[in-house]
């Protein structure tokens, strides 16, 4: 995988890390969550396509309601990393974590390997990378219990020791009860509860009756009024119990070390499987993210063409405001359909502030970063994205207090960095280009910057509210104007993108709507007309032509999409009809074959009854039998089956119909029309009519 990294400044201003945090919530384990949080965009086309395909295949399973068995995954990397520093063996709960993770790997492997390798090629391959640890999982489960630690059945010796411990404990308590029930010492004891101090059984004795009970004082109360005495009568039993418990601990440690050794001997394979599990959980998180946010997989191309893209963080915000799933609110965020790099390399978006231009830039940037991270994007099917070596973004207030830079100076520094590194495989996103200084100088500087980026063949999307830049895009072959629509009646932006149409500040219209004096408005219009040259009329004419062309392009694209959809539907329907026709043909042939078989069976019965008939009738029955056999052998199914039988050779796979199992041919006895098949380790003799091709199923 390519080691090139997208500029950290770009990731920050586009809020890429926030996207990763949302993604991480869809993982099923800490393993997947950490993988999600550590995800970065890459530039390797094959890696991106593989990750997108994995996400798409898992999304398809989720859309079908399939369950992905990811329960039980643990991050064993941390467990192995800490091992040996403060411990020499794995504790029971750690062994269970290992066991659960490896068992989950086994379940996932089975699920992925059972998938159709053509429809789910990438998941099938991921399943193949998971290793199986049946013996280790079985041994840990045999020895470790989730509640009790090491099971009694883990070894014969452990079972015997625990049985002895139970007997000694019962005997000790019985002896204790007998002792405290003695009337001679009843008045000396505080209570008759069985108690332990320092692992030894004791009797609570009143201090001034100490001499009434022979034994060793092991503890006393805070006041000194109560002494905890180990009676001499219990010492031997207590010693035996202590010895048994010591032996038990020694046996438990031996068993844990045995299991630890088995785990450590397979550590490289286990960690390799854990890495694959992390990739699977990450792909699962991407698929769930895609489903929740109604995303789709983009096509990798040399240009960008997003279809009805929406900013994912706006979707999240809308869902939080309405307290409902994101999937129900995709219409709450106005979609955009920008394109770049096919018929133009620079998209210049003009218009008033607060019109959604910055959101548009971030939406484009995030879609690219998400795609290059192997994620689906919040845009419609058929969206195209290019793979960029670098993405640069100069968005928002970049003022640096520490360096005492003005906002304008900070933007200029960022643009200088971009111009030094921009090239053909670079995406540049510039917000409010030329702002923060004198409009005339700002427009001149912005024009020079855009000319430099065009000469470097960088794909650029720039926003500005400087009207002087509108004519720039018309003068460049690889540049295009665009605007974000503003509703002058409601005085609110609609956030709809119009390519080919430069935006207007609408300052005079807005001022008039808000009630400014008409005299002032008229004076402003006169001054505006005086300062404009004849190029304004030309721009308006070009703008109208572009608007008409853009409307026609959108209409053509809609018709093209509809035609593709209809063609796809027709192809699917034709395929269904062909499949249905084949099924009906197969059913008809099967019924014919069954009917002929029934007739042949009846003829066999009739022939047996005619064996002792007079000679002419016997011969006629034989002739009829031959004709029926010939007819039965001439059906389509019979012919295909005969061809299958004729091609059989030792070692071929066949389906044993009576046993519903697949076996291997061991011997063929063609004269007797029999075959010896090895099925699950057993040799079975079957007639030719009792076997079929391996694809056959009842």
What's the pLDDT score for residue 398? 45
308 plus 231 within the same structural domain = no
Q: What is the pLDDT of residues 325-338, one digit of tens each?
A: 888 877 778 888 99
Distance CA 318, CA 325 (A): 9
Q: What is the DSSP string of 287-349?
A: HHHHHHTT-BPPEEESSEE-SSB--HHHHHHHHHHHTS-GGG-GGGS--B--EESSS-SEEEE
Whether 119 shows a pLDDT value over 80: the answer reads yes
What total of structural domains would you count in the chain?
5
149 belongs to a structural domain = no
Query: Do 283 and 305 fall into the same domain?
Result: no
Choose the final residue of a domain: 510, 532, 554.
532
My answer on whether 287 and 306 are in the same domain is no
pLDDT band per the 50, 70, 90 thresholds, residue 372: very high
3-state secondary structure of 421: helix
pLDDT grade, residue 630 (50/70/90)? Answer: low
* C-alpha to C-alpha distance for 254 and 77, rounded to whole angstroms: 24
pLDDT tens figures, 419-448: 999 999 999 999 888 777 777 888 888 899
| Residue finishing a domain among 631, 660, 683 | 631
pLDDT at 605: 64
Residue 49 clears pLDDT 60, i.e. is over it: yes
Determine, yes or no, domain membership for 62: yes
What residues does 217 pair with on adjacent strands?
Answer: 229
Q: Are residues 357 and 505 in the same domain?
A: yes
Is residue 314 located within the same domain as residue 436?
yes
Least confident of 30-39, 378-387, 554-563, 679-688: 554-563
Confidence grade of residue 593 (pLDDT, cut at 50, 70, 90): low
Higher-pLDDT residue of 630 and 121 is 121
Give pLDDT, residue 493: 59
- 3 state DSSP class of 535: helix
Let me know if residue 483 belongs to a domain. yes
Q: Which of 502-511, 578-587, 684-693 has the lowest mean pLDDT?
A: 578-587
Which of the listed ranges 16-25, 462-471, 499-508 does the model predict with the highest average pLDDT?
16-25
Which run of H or E residues covers position 150? strand 149-150
2 SS3 class: coil
Tell me whether residue 623 is exposed, middle or buried, using C-beta atoms within 10 angstroms of its C-beta: 0 to 12, 13 to 18, 19 or more.
exposed
The residue among 306, 302, 300, 299 whose CA lies nearest residue 425 is 302
Q: Among 46-55, 119-128, 269-278, 585-594, whose mean pLDDT is lowest?
A: 585-594
Whether the predicted pLDDT of 590 surpasses 80: no
Q: Is 593 found in the same domain as 459?
A: no
> 672 and 596, same structural domain?
no
Regarding beta strands 304-305 and 339-340, do their DSSP bridges make them parallel or antiparallel, or are they unpaired?
A: antiparallel
Of 252, 262, 268, the C-alpha closest to 138 is 262
Residues 396 and 488 reside in one and the same domain: yes
The tens digit of pLDDT for each residue in 142-193 reads 999 877 689 999 999 999 999 999 999 899 888 888 888 888 777 777 778 8
Q: In 3D, which of 200, 196, 188 has the Cα closest to residue 226?
A: 188
Nearest to 48 by CA among 272, 286, 276: 286
Q: What distances in angstroms separate CA 496 from CA 321, 331, 501, 506, 623, one per listed residue?
A: 22, 13, 12, 16, 85
Overall average pLDDT of the 236-264 stretch = 92
614 and 497 in a common domain = no
Indicate the pLDDT class of residue 205, thresholds 50, 70 and 90.
confident
At 632 the pLDDT is: 60
Q: Return the residue matching tokens 């031996």.
A: 254
Instruction: Determine the average pLDDT of the residues in 87-107.
Output: 90
Q: Note whether residue 259 is domain-resident.
A: no
CA distance linking residue 296 with residue 287, whole number of Å: 10
Confidence class for position 698, pLDDT limits 50, 70, 90: very low
Residues 234 and 363 in one domain: no
The whole-number average pLDDT for the span 105-121 is 90
Mean pLDDT of 308-331: 85
Give a yes or no: residue 389 inside a domain. Answer: yes
Q: Looking at the domain assignment, is residue 50 inside a domain?
A: yes
Cross-strand partners of 429: 393, 461
pTM higher than 0.85 for the full model? no
Q: What angle do CA 541, 546, 551 make, to 5 degrees?
A: 130
pLDDT at 536 over 80: no
Q: % helix / strand / coil in the chain, to the nearest 5?
A: 55, 15, 30
Residues 196 and 178 in one domain: yes
CATH code of the domain covering residue 168: 1.10.1420.10
Does 17 fall in a domain?
Answer: yes
Give per-residue pLDDT as tens, 654-683.
888 888 788 888 889 888 889 998 887 788
Question: Is residue 253, in this structure, part of any structural domain at all?
Answer: no
* 277-306 pLDDT tens trace: 999 999 999 999 999 999 999 999 999 999
The mean pLDDT value of the chain amounts to 82
- 3-state SS, residue 122: helix
Q: What range does the domain containing 272 cover?
A: 12-133+266-292
Q: Give the model confidence (pLDDT) of 679-695 as tens digits.
A: 877 888 888 878 887 76
- pLDDT recorded at residue 260: 93
The angle at the Cα of 177, spanning 176 to 178, to the nearest 5 degrees, equals 90
Angle at 203 between CA 200 and CA 208, to 5 degrees: 130
Of the candidates 532, 553, 581, which is a domain's last residue?
A: 532
- Whether residue 401 has pLDDT greater than 60: no
Q: How many helices and strands (H and E) does the chain possess?
A: 21, 21
User: 695 φ, ψ to 5°?
Assistant: -70, -15
Of 486, 488, 215, residue with least CA distance to 357: 486
User: Which of 36-45, 176-185, 586-595 comes out lowest in average pLDDT?
Assistant: 586-595
Contact 427, 303 (CB under 8 A): no
Banded pLDDT at 216 (limits 50, 70, 90): confident
Q: Which two tokens stand for residue 454?
A: 């065009």
3-class SS of residue 51: helix
Structure-block tokens of residue 164: 């002895």
Q: Is residue 458 domain-shared with residue 359, that is, in the same domain?
A: yes
């Amino acid at each position: 995988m390519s080691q090139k990294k997208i500029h950290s400044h770009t990731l920050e201003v586009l809020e890429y890390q926030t996207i990763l945090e949302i993604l991480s919530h869809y993982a099923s384990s800490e393993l997947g969550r950490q993988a999600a949080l550590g995800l970065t965009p890459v530039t390797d086309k094959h890696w991106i396509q593989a990750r997108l395909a994995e996400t798409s295949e898992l999304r398809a399973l989720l859309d079908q309601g399939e369950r992905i068995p990811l329960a039980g995954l643990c991050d064993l990397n941390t467990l192995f990393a800490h091992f040996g520093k403060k411990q020499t063996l794995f504790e029971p709960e750690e062994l269970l974590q290992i066991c659960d993770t490896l068992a989950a790997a086994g379940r996932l492997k089975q699920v992925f390997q059972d998938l159709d390798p053509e429809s789910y090629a990438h998941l099938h391959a991921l399943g193949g990378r998971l290793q199986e640890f049946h013996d280790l999982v079985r041994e840990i489960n045999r020895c470790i219990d989730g509640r009790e630690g090491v099971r009694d059945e883990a070894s014969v010796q452990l079972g015997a020791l625990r049985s002895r411990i139970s007997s000694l404990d019962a005997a000790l308590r019985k002896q204790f009860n007998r002792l405290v029930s003695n009337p001679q010492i009843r008045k000396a004891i505080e209570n008759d509860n069985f108690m332990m101090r320092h692992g030894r059984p004791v009797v609570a004795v009143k201090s001034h009756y100490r001499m009434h009970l022979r034994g060793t004082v092991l503890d006393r109360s805070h006041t000194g009024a109560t002494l905890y005495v180990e009676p001499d009568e219990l010492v031997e039993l207590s010693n035996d119990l202590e010895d048994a418990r010591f032996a038990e601990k020694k046996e438990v440690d031996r068993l844990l070390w045995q299991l630890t050794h088995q785990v450590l001997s397979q550590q490289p394979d286990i960690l390799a499987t854990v890495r694959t599990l992390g990739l699977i959980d990450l792909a699962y998180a991407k698929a769930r993210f895609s489903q929740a946010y109604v995303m789709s997989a983009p096509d990798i191309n040399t240009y960008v063409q997003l279809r009805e893209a929406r900013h994912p963080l706006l979707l999240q915000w809308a869902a939080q405001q309405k307290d409902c799933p994101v999937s129900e609110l995709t219409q709450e965020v106005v979609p955009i359909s920008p394109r770049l790099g096919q018929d133009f390399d620079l998209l210049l978006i003009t218009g008033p502030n607060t019109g959604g231009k910055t959101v548009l830039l971030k939406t484009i940037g995030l879609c690219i970063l998400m795609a290059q991270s192997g994620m689906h994007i919040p845009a419609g099917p058929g969206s195209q994205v290019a793979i960029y070596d670098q993405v640069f973004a100069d968005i928002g207030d970049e003022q640096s207090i520490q360096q005492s830079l003005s906002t304008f100076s900070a933007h200029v520094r960022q643009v200088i960095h971009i111009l030094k590194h921009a090239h053909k495989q670079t995406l540049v996103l510039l917000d409010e280009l030329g702002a923060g200084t004198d409009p005339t100088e700002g427009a001149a500087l912005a024009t020079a910057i855009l000319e430099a980026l065009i000469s470097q063949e960088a794909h650029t999307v720039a926003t500005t509210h400087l009207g002087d830049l509108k004519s720039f895009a018309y003068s460049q072959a690889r540049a295009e104007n665009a605007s974000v629509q503003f509703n002058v009646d409601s005085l609110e932006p609609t956030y709809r993108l119009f390519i080919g149409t430069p935006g207007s500040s609408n300052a005079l219209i807005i001022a008039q709507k808000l009630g400014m004096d008409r005299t002032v408005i008229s004076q402003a219009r006169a001054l505006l007309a005086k300062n404009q040259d004849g190029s304004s009329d030309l721009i308006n004419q070009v703008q109208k032509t572009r608007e008409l062309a853009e409307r026609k392009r959108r209409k053509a694209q809609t018709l093209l999409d509809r035609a593709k959809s209809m063609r796809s539907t027709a192809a699917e329907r034709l395929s269904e009809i062909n499949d249905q026709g084949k099924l009906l043909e197969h059913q008809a042939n099967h019924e014919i074959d069954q009917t002929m078989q029934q007739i042949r069976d009846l003829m066999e019965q009739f022939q047996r009854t005619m064996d002792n008939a007079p000679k002419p009738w016997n011969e006629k029955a034989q002739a009829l039998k031959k004709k029926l056999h010939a007819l039965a052998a001439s059906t389509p199914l019979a012919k295909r089956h005969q061809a299958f039988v004729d091609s059989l050779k030792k070692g071929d796979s066949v389906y044993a119909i009576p046993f519903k199992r697949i076996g291997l041919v061991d011997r063929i006895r063609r004269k007797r029309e029999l075959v010896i098949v090895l099925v699950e380790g057993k040799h079975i003799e079957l007639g030719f009519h009792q076997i079929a091709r391996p694809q056959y199923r009842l």
